[in-house]
Amino acid sequence: MKKYFWLIPVLLFGGQAQAGESVVQALTGQYQQHGAGLADAAHGKEIWQQQHMQKKLKKRVSCASCHGADLRRSGEHLRTGKRIEPMAPSVNQERLSDPKKIEKWFLRNCKWTWGRECTTQEKADILAFLQSL
């Protein structure tokens, strides 16, 4: 009996990591039904770093402005200074595990950072990029 105890953490954490992956897969599938093509992680990385004018702040910003340059470490909100937990699912297992949360923050942050909603293709690409971290 005792020799199987190592299975407990493996199942717990392994299960969680897989949950994240399947969430991303399911969302990507939905995006593809709404016009997106194959998810491109390299393009996701590129648009993550793209600078856009934030009208209210009168500053050029990108996703990295708040999430930080290294997504395996925590970021800091540009204005309020609030700590933002790491985005990389390999470091922070809560990331990319809740589709409702993903959509909520896509809506808010695309509008704030880019001044418009992200397209399904852009969302698929960004998810692929983050999942690869």
Partner 1 sequence: MKQKLKCNRIWGMMLLVGCIMLSMGTLAWSDDDEWFEHGNKHESEYGEGKHESAWQRTTGVAVVSNKLYKTECSACHFAYQPGFLPARSWVKMMSSLDDHFGENAELDATSRTAIEQYLRGHAADRQPNRFSRSMMRSIGKRETPLRISQTPYFQRKHHEVPARMVKNNPKVRSFANCASCHQGAAKGQFDEDAVRIPGFGNWED
The nearer residue to partner 1, 1 or 80, going by C-beta atoms, is 80
**Least distance in angstroms from the C-beta of 32 to partner 1:** 23
**Least distance in angstroms from the C-beta of 65 to partner 1:** 13
The nearer residue to partner 1, 10 or 80, going by C-beta atoms, is 80
Q: Which residues of this protein are in contact with partner 1, per CB under 8 A?
A: 56-57, 77, 79-82, 100, 104, 107-109, 111-112
**Least distance in angstroms from the C-beta of 80 to partner 1:** 7
Which one, of 25, 49, 48, lies nearest residue 38 by Cα?
25
The nearer residue to partner 1, 9 or 81, going by C-beta atoms, is 81
The nearer residue to partner 1, 23 or 110, going by C-beta atoms, is 110
Which one, of 60, 113, 105, 114, lies nearest residue 87 by Cα?
105
**Least distance in angstroms from the C-beta of 83 to partner 1:** 11
Contact 119, 19 (CB under 8 A): no
The nearer residue to partner 1, 34 or 77, going by C-beta atoms, is 77
Both tokens of 85, joined, read 């937990």
**Least distance in angstroms from the C-beta of 6 to partner 1:** 34
Check residue 58 and give left, alpha or beta (phi > 0: left; psi -120 to 50: alpha).
left
Using CA atoms in the order 121, 124, 126, 127, what is the torsion angle rounded to 10 degrees? Answer: 170
**What are residue 44's phi and psi, to 5 degrees?**
-60, -45
